[in-house]
Amino acid sequence: MSTESYQTPLNTRYSSKEMQFNFSDQKKFSTWRQLWLYLAQAEQQLGLEITNEQLKEMEENLNKIDFKLAAEEEKKVRHDVMAHVHTFGVACPKAAPIIHLGATSCYVGDNADLIMLKDGLDILLPKLARVISRLSDFAKEFKDLPTLGFTHLQPAQLTTVGKRACLWLQELVMDEQNIRLARDSLRFRGVKGTTGTQASFLQLFDGDHEKVKKLNSLVTEKAGFASSFIITGQTYTRKVDTDVMARLSSFGATAHKICTDIRLLASRKEIEEPFEKSQIGSSAMAYKRNPMRSERVCSLARHLMGLMSNTLNTQSVQWMERTLDDSANRRITLAEAFLTADAVLTTLQNITEGLVVYPKVIERYIAQELPFMATENFIMEMVKQGGDRQECHEQIRVLSHQAGDVVKKEGKDNDLIERIRKCEYFAPIHSQIDNLMDAKTFVGRAPEQVTEFLVEEVDPVLKMYEGKLEGTVSLAV
């Protein structure tokens, strides 16, 4: 790795080797060569004078790319596709006359991009499923553990730790569905020519429309796609990039929300992400245990969400059949989106495999707030014992405000329960106060909701990835 020129941290620090390879020059240009071979094979099958010897020569040189020669040629001709046509032709002198026959640059450029998008989504989906699997286990384990719920970031009714995890899971399950749909909806650009009319191929086949249609279907099938676009300009519509990016950036929002919650809970010491034995939280404050993994996810997720505007803007300015101002932007945006999503998923899996819960801390927070939450139960029980609801409400209101002043002004613990125990008015329910204060009676159907959700919505998703959910993640940094 060079230390004297910029290297993207997405490669040097965060993303996986498999995703880096998916957007590498080796993958890109060997895919171009594979596409040229597919085209030549189909053209031969439909009657053009292409020999088996030429096809064999091409096949033997799919991965033997002289990148130095290609760079020198591109510097001369200022055209990356023609530079690689020349470079492939040098490696395959017998096949050189028929390489790229009838095609335009977007035959290799756009079709290769679609292949890399599909392969990239195939890398991401099992990783997303593994995160869903880990969080599913976490939700199941803690489905019954009461914890303070928060609305407006203020303590509200109790929920459970597992139920909160299901809020995260629900969005991840939606992301899996969205990304899988994007992957399954991808179509091949196919064999279309310079403005999408297939005019050059119609010329090659002497006006035989059926052969041109067959050529397109043969190449589409060889490339592993079920269908191709009937209508294109020179390029496939850049709305495809927008749609794929929308799914990835939406996942970025999910990841940001999850890890923001974890960071907030870590500040309360209720939950911690994994923290290694030799890990340092702060260069100055040796005692700190910062949630650096969750902070990294939020940081990367913001980048992923921000890339969405690039694809929208690029799609919107594709004049007529095509303009080239998409090219440089797409070279950066598409690869960075997949590398970033990959890095977020890798880090998120690491986090969800090592989340630590501190029940005693959670209990202490509940104890501070539960007396106020329990007052409605006290009122209901007093009414059952023959009390007046309005009078009971007023007694509770006065005692609650007194207890609140103790907490806010004196910094002491909430003593509302002690005040109720000492208040003669509430004598009819004194013996029931402990039962009325059981935190598990305040979580409603949260545990049942967790079970129902995991069985009905999460398990069917995980079933699609059987055999791909194993393995743990260790972060390089």
256 is catalytic: no
**Is residue 128 classed as helix, strand or coil in its secondary structure?**
helix
Positions of E strands within 35-162: 146-151, 154-160
CB-based contacts of 254, cutoff 8 Å, min separation 6:
168, 171, 172, 174, 175
Burial class (CB in 10 A: 0-12, 13-18, 19+), 250: middle
Per DSSP, the residues of 416-466 read: HHHHHHH-GGGGGGGGGHHHHT-GGGGSTTHHHHHHHHIIIIIHHHHHTTT
Nearest to 148 by CA among 292, 289, 271: 271
What does each C-alpha distance from 134 to 149, 254, 391 come to in angstroms? Answer: 22, 16, 50
Environment class of 15 (CB within 10 Å of its CB; exposed 0-12, middle 13-18, buried 19+): buried
Q: Which of 185, 282, 309, 316 is catalytic?
A: 282
Instruction: Tell how far CA 350 is from the center of its chain.
Output: 14
101, 39 Cβ separation under 8 angstroms = yes
Beta bridge partners of 151: 154
Q: Which residues contact 129 (CB under 8 A, 6 or more apart)?
A: 176, 461, 462, 464, 465, 468, 469
| Contact between 296 and 255 (Cβ < 8 Å) | no
User: Active site residue: 152, 267, 283, 474, which one?
Assistant: 152
What angle is formed at CA 225 by the lines to CA 219 and CA 230, rounded to 5 degrees? 70
> Helical H runs in 279-424?
292-306, 308-316, 327-352, 359-373, 375-384, 389-410, 416-422
Residue 127 and residue 342 in contact, taking contact as beta carbons nearer than 8 Å: yes
The residue type of 159 is T
Q: How many residues in the chain?
A: 477
Q: Is 152 a catalytic residue?
A: yes
Q: In the 8-state DSSP scheme, what is residue 228?
A: B
Give the catalytic positions in this structure.
Answer: 152, 282
